[in-house]
Amino acid sequence: MTSKKKFLLKLPIYILLSPFYLIKGIRNALQYLFKSLKFSIRRKITLNYLSLYVMIGIVTFVFMLGGFMRNELELKSGKIYIYVDNTFDKHESGVYDLDDITKRINAIAEVENCGIELTFINDSNHVISSERYLNYNYPDSIIDSIGAFIYNKMYSSKKIIYYINPTTDNMDTVTLKIIHPITLYYKQLNTLSIMLLTCIVFGFFFIWFFGSLNNKRILKPIYAMTKTAEKISITNMNERLDVSKAKYELKDLAITINDMLNRLNVDYEKQKRFVSDVSHELRTPISIVNGYASMLKRWGKEDEAILDESIEAIIDEAKNMQVLVENLLTLVRADNQSLKFNKEEFYMNELIEEVATESLMINAKKQEIVCEPCEPIKVFLDMQMMKQILRIFVDNAVKYTPPSGRIFIKCLIEDSNCVIHIKDSGIGISKEDLPFIFDRFYRSDESRTRDTGGHGLGLSIAKAIILGHGGRMKVKSKKNEGSEFTIILPI
């Protein structure tokens, strides 16, 4: 099989796939162009519009030209069909014989500038061809006819004519095949091509100009957001994006960014306060250590009392700083989700009784600590950390409850959870302070002194441990009436 024959066999597939290859090629070319050239987002959007318009223009151009040519050829084929059909009407009435039909076919072919072939579908299979048809030498196979369309610029159409055979009085059939030279329509095709290309080029520049202006208007809020974002810094965290000028998705984006900035601002303020509080907590023990170190340098060698007092104070403040650092490390591990829990089975009611007994023994204010009878509650938790959070809540209750006050502790099972209640009759917490009591270093204004001891990290540590075990907390408090902390832990 020759290479030309192979090409013609694959040609229908190439024609069907050509639009996909064309679109793929244009897409790859545009992708390479976008990657090699640094365009702004406005120009990229405009180029995407233009590339889509160009592809649609090409497809429209091809289909318009093909549709026009096919329509013209079908109209002409219909006209010829009428002429030939009229000829067979006269053949039916006996006016024309086969020689007359042949002359008539040649005359029609000459006038219409085409090739005509008639094939009688009967016993004789007689064929009448015009001279122009024989000169065109049009092939019969579909593959060869495609080659004739491409190389010889010819197009064929077939129609069926039914007539009454005057000899046999039977209904016979004739196949009418018409060959059209496409070159006859070059002038009309050129005119139509120029008109279409003019419209496509005009539309291209129209979309380019107005598309650029429209994209600039649409992207204007983004430029405003960029300028506003450039103003935001550590020293200017209060700047926010203007939501009023944005619409649709850009408005949602601006709102989301503003919310993010609000959260960052809150976290940054917390960080500044945290650093300030750590500095505040460390300043006092460091000052005490420096003071006693100076006393040791001056009089410690001669005066044993000063020596003992200084050493004892330095040791106490060192322990104080060690506790502070360990608490901070616990919170950091909780933040990084690296806080490890050594879970084991134990009875929560026994642990509560133990903590209540220890607190009563070391309670200098002599409040009444009441541990209400609890049913045996077996849990699988970190016992040492549970003991730590119980001490934190009980110590807080002791600190902020007057000597005549009472502290109640009880536990029970609710909805398959271990629920612990610690209630006191102390000074209570105001509504303004209640949302912040679990923040690090936070103390209410009335008690934010060193008289009550500690660093203000206890409740933060308790919260981290409880949340780490998958639990939760509730707080109820009223000023000058007391507070109640509820701890809910999974069994």
Q: Do the bridges between strand 368-371 and strand 406-414 make them parallel or antiparallel, or are there none, so unpaired? A: parallel
What is the model's pLDDT at position 10? 64
Arithmetic mean of pLDDT over the chain: 80
Contact 189, 68 (CB under 8 A): yes
Band of the pLDDT at 331, cuts 50, 70, 90?
Answer: confident
Domain ranges of the chain: 3-192, 248-335, 343-490
What is the model's pLDDT at position 202? 92
For the ranges 272-281, 419-428, 444-453, the lowest mean pLDDT is seen at 444-453
Q: Encode the chain in three state secondary structure.
A: CCHHHHHHHHHHHHHHHHHHHHHHHHHHHHHHHHHHCCCCHHHHHHHHHHHHHHHHHHHHHHHHHHHHHHHHHHHHHHHHHHHHHHHHHHHHCCCCCHHHHHHHHHHHHHHHCCEEEEEEECCCCCEEECHHHHHHCCCCCHHHHHHHHHHCCEEEEEEEEEEECCCCCCEEEEEEEEEEEHHHHHHHHHHHHHHHHHHHHHHHHHHHHHHHHHHHHHHHHHHHHHHHHHHCECCECCCCCCCCCCCHHHHHHHHHHHHHHHHHHHHHHHHHHHHHHHHHHHHHHHHHHHHHHHHHHHHHCCCHHHHHHHHHHHHHHHHHHHHHHHHHHHHHHHHCCCCCCCEEEEEHHHHHHHHHHHHHHHCCCCCEEEECCCCCCEEEEEHHHHHHHHHHHHHHHHHCCCCCCEEEEEEEEECCEEEEEEEECCCCCCCCCHHHCCCCCCCCHHHCCCCCCCCCCHHHHHHHHHHHCCCEEEEEEECCCEEEEEEEEEC
Instruction: Please report where in the chains the tokens 């070391």 appear, as a residue.
Output: 362
CB-based contacts of 208, cutoff 8 Å, min separation 6: 46, 50
| CATH topology assigned to domain 3-192 | Beta-Lactamase (3.30.450)
- pLDDT tens sequence across 169-181: 788 888 888 888 8
What is the model's pLDDT at position 449? 47
What is the model's pLDDT at position 418? 93
What is the model's pLDDT at position 82? 92
Name the token pair of 59.
Answer: 């497809």
Q: What's the CATH superfamily of 343-490?
A: Histidine kinase-like ATPase, C-terminal domain (3.30.565.10)
Task: Please determine, for residue 287, whether its predicted confidence score (pLDDT) is greater than 90.
Answer: no
Beta-bridge partners for 121 = 173
For helices 383-399 and 348-362, angle between their N-to-C axes, nearest 10 degrees: 40
Mean pLDDT computed over 102-126: 84
What is the percentage of the chain residues whose pLDDT exceeds 90? 11
What is the model's pLDDT at position 367? 79
Burial track 173-193 (b if 16+ CB lie within 10 A, e otherwise):
ebebbbbbbeeebeeebeebe
Quote the CA–CA distance of 421 and 411 in Å, as a whole number. 6
Task: Please determine, for residue 256, whether its predicted confidence score (pLDDT) is greater than 80.
Answer: yes
What is the model's pLDDT at position 27? 67
pTM above 0.75, yes or no: no
What is the model's pLDDT at position 421? 94
What is the model's pLDDT at position 11? 63
Band of the pLDDT at 8, cuts 50, 70, 90?
Answer: low
- pLDDT tens sequence across 16-56: 666 667 667 766 776 666 665 566 677 777 777 888 888 88
Q: Which of 24-33, 75-84, 122-131, 250-259 has the highest mean pLDDT?
A: 75-84
CB-based contacts of 47, cutoff 8 Å, min separation 6: 30, 33, 34, 39
- pLDDT tens sequence across 426-470: 888 888 888 888 887 776 654 444 455 566 788 888 898 999 899
CATH 1.25.40.10, applies to 248-335? no
Band of the pLDDT at 15, cuts 50, 70, 90?
Answer: low
Mean pLDDT computed over 337-343: 84
Contact 396, 459 (CB under 8 A): yes
What is the model's pLDDT at position 489? 93
